[in-house]
């Protein structure tokens, strides 16, 4: 099974729809401080000009944006209106737009483009190439795009993770179980169980399956180059964000000849 072959992998996920208001309990915004600081310094180090604008593709609840908006004017794009609503609540000063990272075209360019963990929902090389193409179309000459998959094929380890938090009298705990289906190529499954405890102390359990793309490092670099970027890869450890090993891909959009 590949994402190319299975159209059902365009998944309407409850976590980003009717359960979106629980999302901040799954990964609270504070957990993104360290990773956002890392992205900020990568942008500053690699942009040809001091960057002022940032486009976040797959911005979710806007948790990265809470830490980046002090330094950049942020435009946040997500597929799901319920996630954009979560982000608007905490980032009212940011521009929010509904759209698909594979196809959206805003007709303007940004100094920085961030494609964070939402990129894992690209379950085929075709979709991944389209998302990278969207990033390129919105990166200004001399600007930089960052792509952050949870894993590349070379670093994937099956396993489980658990976590969650409490706020406003409610609580969420989750277990994530990651594994590769026998028939899969370039894809893994993340089986998520959410235990939701409401203000009245009633609890319910919900399971849903997320299908996620898993591509070799060389494919990432090749697709980033094919879009028109100069590709780079850097290794980062984001201690408080996740215990998975992260590799960060950069796409540097060359400064156009004759343009200062």
Ligand X SMILES: C[S@@+](CC[C@H](N)C(=O)[O-])C[C@H]1O[C@@H](n2cnc3c(N)ncnc32)[C@H](O)[C@@H]1O
- Subset of residues 69 to 88 that bind ligand X, contact rule: CB under 6 A: 78-80, 83
- Does the protein bind ligand X through residue 21 (CB under 6 A)? no
The distance of closest approach from Cβ of residue 78 to ligand X in the complex, given in angstroms and rounded to an integer, is 5
Query: Two tokens at 17?
Result: 């729809």
Sheet holding 159-167, edge to edge: 159-167, 170-179, 187-197, 203-213
Report DSSP state, residue 15: G
Q: How far apart are CA 106 and CA 138, in angstroms?
A: 8
Range in contact with ligand X (rule: CB under 6 A) among 89-97, 113-121, 205-213, 246-254: 113-121
Is residue 211 a contact point for ligand X (CB under 6 A)? Answer: no
Q: How many residues does the chain have?
A: 260
Stretch that binds ligand X, among 96-104, 228-236, 238-246, 251-259 (CB under 6 A): 96-104
Q: Site residues for ligand X, window 166-195 (CB under 6 A)?
A: none
Nearer CB in complex with ligand X: 66/173: 66
CB-nearer residue toward ligand X: 50 or 239? 239
What are residue 246's phi and psi, to 5 degrees? Answer: -115, 140
Stretch that binds ligand X, among 55-63, 186-194, 224-232, 251-259 (CB under 6 A): 55-63
Q: Which is nearer to ligand X, 32 or 194 (CB)?
A: 32
- Specify whether the CB–CB gap between 165 and 172 falls below 8 A: yes
Among 43, 75, 117, 250, binds ligand X (CB under 6 A): 117
How far is it, in rounded angstroms, from Cα 24 to Cα 89?
11
Question: Can you give the three-state secondary structure of 64-131, one letter per residue?
Answer: HHHHHCCCCEEEEEECCHHHHHHHHHHCCCCEEEECCCCCCCCCCCEEEEEECHHHHHCCCHHHHHHH
Residues 30-49 that bind ligand X (CB under 6 A): 32
Cα–Cα distance for residue pair 111/160, rounded to 1 Å: 37
Q: How far is the CB of 64 from ligand X (least distance, A)?
A: 4
Binding status of residue 133 toward ligand X by CB under 6 A: no
60 part of the interface to ligand X, by CB under 6 A: yes
16 near ligand X, judged by CB under 6 A: yes
Q: Which of 6, 21, 100, 208 binds ligand X (CB under 6 A)?
A: 100
What is the smallest separation between the CB atom of 112 and ligand X, expressed in angstroms?
14
Question: Binding of ligand X at residue 9 (CB under 6 A)?
Answer: no
Q: What strands lie across the sheet with 53-57, from one edge to the other?
A: 95-98, 73-78, 53-57, 110-115, 139-147, 246-252, 230-236
Write out the residues near ligand X by the rule CB under 6 A: 16, 32, 58-64, 78-80, 83, 100-102, 116-118, 121
């Amino acid at each position: 099974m590949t994402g190319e072959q299975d159209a059902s992998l365009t998944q309407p996920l409850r976590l980003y729809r009717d359960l979106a208001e629980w999302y901040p309990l799954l990964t609270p915004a504070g957990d993104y401080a360290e990773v956002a600081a890392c992205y900020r310094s990568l942008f500053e180090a690699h942009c040809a000009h001091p960057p002022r604008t940032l486009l976040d593709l797959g911005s979710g609840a806007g948790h990265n944006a809470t830490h980046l908006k002090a330094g950049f004017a942020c435009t946040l794009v997500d597929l799901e209106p319920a996630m954009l609503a979560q982000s608007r609540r905490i980032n009212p000063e940011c521009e929010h737009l509904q759209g698909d990272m594979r196809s959206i075209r805003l007709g303007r360019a940004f100094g920085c483009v961030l494609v964070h963990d939402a990129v894992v929902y690209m379950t085929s090389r075709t979709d991944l190439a389209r998302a990278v193409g969207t990033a390129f179309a919105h990166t200004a000459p001399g600007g930089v795009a960052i792509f952050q998959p949870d894993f590349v094929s070379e670093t994937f380890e099956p396993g489980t993770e658990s976590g969650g938090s409490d706020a406003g009298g409610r609580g969420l705990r989750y277990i994530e179980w990651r594994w590769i289906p026998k028939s899969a190529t370039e894809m893994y499954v993340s089986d998520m169980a959410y235990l939701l405890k409401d203000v009245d102390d009633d609890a319910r359990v919900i399971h849903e399956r997320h299908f996620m793309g898993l591509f070799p490092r060389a494919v990432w670099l090749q697709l980033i180059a094919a879009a028109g970027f100069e590709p780079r890869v850097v290794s980062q450890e984001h201690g408080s964000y996740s215990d998975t090993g992260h590799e960060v891909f950069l796409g540097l959009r060359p400064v156009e000849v004759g343009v200062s």
